[in-house]
Amino acid sequence: MTDTNNPVRHLLGLSGGKDSAALAIYLRDKVPEMEYFFADTGAELPETLAFVDLMADYLGKKIIRLNAGRDFDYYLKLNGNFLPTARSRWCTVSLKLKPFEQFVGDDPVISYVAIRADETHRTGYISTKPNITAVYPFKEDGLIKEDIVRILEESGIGLPKYYEWRSRSGCYFCFYQQKIEWIGLYENHPEYFEKARAFELFHKNEGRDHTWSQSESLDEMLARKDDIKAKFQAMNKGEKSKNLMDAVINDEDEDDGDEGCLICFK
C-alpha cells in the first residue's frame, strides 16, 4: 500500500552520457512524475554540462544538480592526496554516490537504471539502502545500443558532442580515459589537460611517481602524441570507425565492465 505521507519517488540520474539521456527520453511520457538529477563533480567538461542543459530543455523539467558540497581537491586531501584509480575509486563514492543517497534520504524510491539489454555483464549501482528499488526499462523491453542511438537521433538531441574525441562523460581527468582521449583533451581543452598535469607534477615534486594513467605520465603521453594518434588510426583502418563518435556507435571502445562507474558514464 502506498503511504500518501511518503509517496514513492521516481528518480532518473543523467550522467551526461548517451544511455541515461535515451532512457530519459524513452520514459518522459511514461513516467511524468520523474525527478531527474545530475551529480556534478565540479570537474565536468563544458560539453557534458551543455548536453545536460539541452536535456532539461527537451524534457521541459529541471534537472536537479547534486554536488558533494566540497570539490575534488577537498576529497583529494582527505584521501592523502592519492589520485583515484580503478582500484581505489573514492571519487565515485564521494562525488557521485553519497550525494545521490543524500538526495534520496529515507524516501521510498524507484531508481531507473540505463543498462541495455545487450549489456548482460552489467548490473549497475544497486544501493544497499532498503528504500531504493532499481529498475531496468531497457533490459525489460529488450532495447540495445542501436535503439539508444535511434531514440537520440529521432528526438533531435543526437549524441553528446564530446563523443567526437572522447568515449565517455565524467571528469576531465578521469583515469578511465584511453590515451587517445587524453590527447583529445589536450587538443580540445588544453587548460584542463594542464590542470590534470598539475596533479601529477604535485606528486613528482613530492618525490612520488603517481600518474593518472598507470603506464606513463601525461608528459610522456604528450611526447608520444603523434604515435598515439597514428596507432589509433591504424587500429581503425579499414573499419567503420574514424573517430570516437563512430567507435561509440560501433561498440568498440566504450565498455569497461565496471559497474560502479555507470553513474559517471552511462
Under the rule (CB under 6 A), what is the footprint of ligand SF4? 41, 84, 89, 91-92, 95-96, 170-171, 174, 176, 261, 264
CA distances from 49 to 14, 46, 53, 171, 225 (A): 11, 5, 6, 11, 27
Residues 6 or more apart whose Cβ sits within 8 Å of residue 234: none
Minimum distance, C-beta of residue 141 to ligand SF4, in the bound complex (Å): 27
Tell me whether residue 94 or residue 111 sits nearer to ligand SF4 (CB atom): 94
Check if the beta carbon of residue 244 is closer than 8 Å to that of residue 179: no
Minimum distance, C-beta of residue 7 to ligand SF4, in the bound complex (Å): 31
Tell me whether residue 174 or residue 180 sits nearer to ligand SF4 (CB atom): 174
Minimum distance, C-beta of residue 156 to ligand SF4, in the bound complex (Å): 27
Give the C-alpha separation, 124 to 113, whole Å.
Answer: 7
Minimum distance, C-beta of residue 41 to ligand SF4, in the bound complex (Å): 5
- What's the length of the chain? 266
Tell me whether residue 218 or residue 261 sits nearer to ligand SF4 (CB atom): 261
Long-range CB contacts for residues 208-214, cutoff 8 Å, separation at least 24: 210/82, 210/83, 211/83, 212/83, 212/173, 212/175, 212/177, 212/182, 213/175, 213/177, 213/179, 213/182, 214/85
Tell me whether residue 176 or residue 199 sits nearer to ligand SF4 (CB atom): 176
DSSP 9: E
Tell me whether residue 9 or residue 197 sits nearer to ligand SF4 (CB atom): 197
Minimum distance, C-beta of residue 166 to ligand SF4, in the bound complex (Å): 11
Cell of 203: 606528486
Minimum distance, C-beta of residue 30 to ligand SF4, in the bound complex (Å): 29
Tell me whether residue 20 or residue 236 sits nearer to ligand SF4 (CB atom): 20
Check if the beta carbon of residue 108 is closer than 8 Å to that of residue 8: yes
Give the C-alpha separation, 124 to 139, whole Å.
Answer: 12
Which residue has the closest beta carbon to ligand SF4? 170
Minimum distance, C-beta of residue 32 to ligand SF4, in the bound complex (Å): 30
Tell me whether residue 69 or residue 207 sits nearer to ligand SF4 (CB atom): 69
Report which of 75, 23, 24, 18 is spatially closest to residue 48, judged by C-alpha positions.
Answer: 18
